Structure 1
């Protein structure tokens, strides 16, 4: 009986203390609400009230590119302003859904609830939310400036993937795929971008950031049936230059700090001059010597870094071309047939075309070409091959072999001046060629010796 009375008394006290107020599930004051371009914006405001309390009206407002009323709910009828006509839907008793919002409609949204409590007192409740609308763009890039990491005490090249609209870390992850195919997580999220700090030395190649399809809608990336991704190509030479430039700037900063300390020290010494001139002179001389040593060492370091920068800039301009291909598609070619290899092992500069068997020079220069050719075991035939440059024979290799079962081979090598756009290939002479079918027996290679300006 006592328990029942206590429960009835507690219920009465709670009822009497209740009033028109925000429900526990309502959006908090100044809450951040995220949605995507051309999606629905849900503002889940809700008011709780008890018997005898009446809501007079509810008004919603927008403040962003303009200041205007969105809608008003009065006497159970929702009136929507022209700017939002056909897009507003009421939820609960103070919440709304705005359909098809755009990035231009980001800003502050607020609600005002006017009501009478049980005592007839007029009550007004107000709340505001900051709405951020994502535009759904994904772009991978390499930042122009390196970043210094305290944990490694090194400068690092930084890749960025974005841009996203979340102020804090988004509710999804961005993974990266390195040139070696390894999957790594982003190092951090900052100002709308997921960042990846590359390990030193930097490995050049393609780095791809991707958002799983399951998170595409949260990331405001609509309409994708596969993982959303973006790729940036990292040049290892340029990356080294970026790191060297960062170190150079750091060294210059150190020199400026030393000079500033030198000036402060001189000021201090001047103030102490009246106390002991001899002591000051000694300290000044020692300090100057020390500072000169440090400045000289730092200057030498800067000169060394500048020399490295110049060398790397030269290396960047140096053209690198080479190729190596093996195997023959046709081991018994006819007179005038191009020897077409089956496998290319190296094609730096992409000058060699595996489908045609021809190498096309990307620019003027001196090139070295080599070929190793192997006869068919015991065939009793011969090998006769031209090295052709733009349809003209530059070199010929001939060998014949008997049917005794011996292995016979021929090789050629030539250093030629080739203009950009000219093609070089191997061409069969007469119809008696019998090449070995072993994939590694026959090869065609070449490389750039020097680049002609």
Structure 2
């Protein structure tokens, strides 16, 4: 929060001006598999220079990630966006083949400098909603009137039911069909199950044409191809005379069912006394069997108690084992690429960190927290490091020092690991610099799976 406030205040004193129409908090809607165009353009004063540009997004599920970095006149997308992110000049990019999971906030951060202000950052943020069209089994909607009336559990009345479907996917955001009555009124579905929408007609039902359609204003519907049959809707004709007979037959079946229940209840009472006698004999026999088995059950209880005691003791022994470590570089690493090592170990509970190789090897299944930090101490040097899990990048940190201002970077992650999995810190480029007094690797066990 302090960094954001400082950036805002400094931006008032520099000359960068945004020239595009994408203002903050703009909402952009695109269809899945299409391109996201983000034309963030700006102008600089003659003495301003671009230090770097970062593009970041925050997805709807709370995850966040880097899209690309522009630094030293080089546009570098991260692996997840390689081949998909293209730079259009200045702060603009195009992300192709957008996916629904990539809906969220997209931010550009432009860092500039001049003789008065060594480093000032400007940012713009918009929300991108990626919509996905619905799909149907046959490529179109089908509507029909169910042959039998159904009982409305809320009103306990028999109702005529119409069904519309079948959607194999509701799209994103999910669509729900809209019903139009013969009188032109709009109704919402009574329920939905597995892509089929159901409408219970009010009593007495009106005859005529009933139509189910997808809502035209839904972003998912708008992503359908212009000639898609799903845009046409579907219509069923309800015969008012026939539905009246359908409701009458349903009420008649209900009356017959009630009479059948009463008949069975009467027959049941005749057998009640015999059942009571049989039940009492069975109860007495059960008590006799219970007395015979009492000694065996007591022995079983004693054995179960002993087993439980041993199990609790074993879990207590396992819970008392702790895992934590903290280590620092013994000397500065300059122009270094690859896994950071060796480390001077300061703390190593559980003996899981190898100081020589710099590799943490998981001693027990559980959830762990790791943090790595570093900084440079001379001008025109940078720190660019990854936190690695079995060769996979799970977090990264980037910082570059300008003039006499020290630049620091930290990356961290919470990971669920199994026994034998490895975690280490790795330098991303060979032209990096890691000052030994500020470079450290720390981790500890948050909770074991067998606690």
**TM-score, normalization: structure 1?**
0.35
Bigger Rg over Cα:
1
Give TM-score, length-normalised by structure 2. Answer: 0.35
